[in-house]
Amino acid sequence: MNKSIAQTNTSRKTLDLTYIALGAVLIAICSWISIPATVPFTLQTFAVAFVLLALGGKRGTISIVIYILLGAIGIPVFAQFSSGFGVLLGTTGGYIIGFILMGLVYWAFTQFISRKLWMQVLASVLGLAACYAFGTFWFMEVYSRNSGAIGLSAALAWCVIPFIIPDLIKLILAVVIATRVSFVIK
């Protein structure tokens, strides 16, 4: 009996690791689909939301962290096939790191409040807002050190406002697709 339980636990861990790795790869692939801008338009937001919705808060957040670590060590997984600490410490690095906040918000809401679909959607939107906030303040700090002071309204105009509608569309798409495939992912 104990051998069967041990095999089940090992199989579950292997499945979790596989899903986490696939989540990190999906985020990387979606980051390569990019339209260059001050903050590039990519499908990263879609991938992050999808990974969280499909895999759950814990596995999804771990996928995000692995994606960021892969980029940090030099594997070109960020937008425009970039990588390294320079990207993370640059003006857009706060938005990439902010994906971790998105995951943590989602994980906390779905773990401690509710796992109902409307709560998952709310957690995704609030997580995106946390990502925007962290990324914008990071952008302002780095930009002001490199180019001079920038106001919050200018930073929002460059880095957030143009992305709100596209990111909400990506979130909706992630919800629709994740709910369709969630029965397969256990």
Separation CA 150–CA 57 (nearest Å): 35
Residue with tokens 């937001």: 45
Query: Any residues with CB less than 8 A from the CB of 127 and at least 6 apart, and which?
Result: 52, 101, 102, 103, 104, 105, 106
Q: What distance in Å separates the CA atoms of residue 17 and residue 5, rounded to the nearest whole number?
A: 18
Confirm if 59 and 23 have CB atoms less than 8 A apart.
yes
Residue matched to tokens 């390569």: 32
Distance CA 156, CA 163 (A): 10
Residue 19's contacts (CB-CB under 8 Å, 6 or more residues apart) are 55, 59, 63, 185
Tell me the mean pLDDT in the region 93-107.
98
Averaged pLDDT for residues 163-185: 92
Query: Phi, psi (5° rounding) for residue 78?
Result: -85, 175
Quick check: 135 and 95 in contact, CB under 8 A? yes
Mean per-residue pLDDT, 111-124 = 94
The pLDDT of residue 183: 77
Give the residue-averaged pLDDT of 152-178. 95
As a whole-number percent, the residues of the chain with pLDDT over 70 amount to: 94
pLDDT over threshold 70, residue 39: no
Question: Over 80: is that where the pLDDT of 136 sits?
Answer: yes
Give the type of residue at 63. S
**pLDDT value, residue 38:** 66
Q: Tell me the mean pLDDT in the region 2-11.
A: 72
Model pLDDT, residue 176: 96
Percent of the chain with pLDDT over 90: 84
In the chain, the N- to C-terminal Cα span, in Å, equals 23
CATH classification number, 12-181, choose in 2.60.40.10, 3.40.1190.20, 3.30.70.980, 1.10.1760.20? 1.10.1760.20
Region 41-64: what's the mean pLDDT? 96
Enumerate the domain spans of the chain: 12-181
**Burial per residue of 52-86, b for 16 or more beta-carbon CB atoms within 10 angstroms, e otherwise:** bbbbbbbbbbbbbebbbebbbeeebbbbeebbeee
Asked if 49 and 27 count as a contact pair (C-beta separation under 8 A), the reply is: no
Residue 3 has pLDDT above 80, yes or no: no
Write down the pTM of the prediction: 0.92
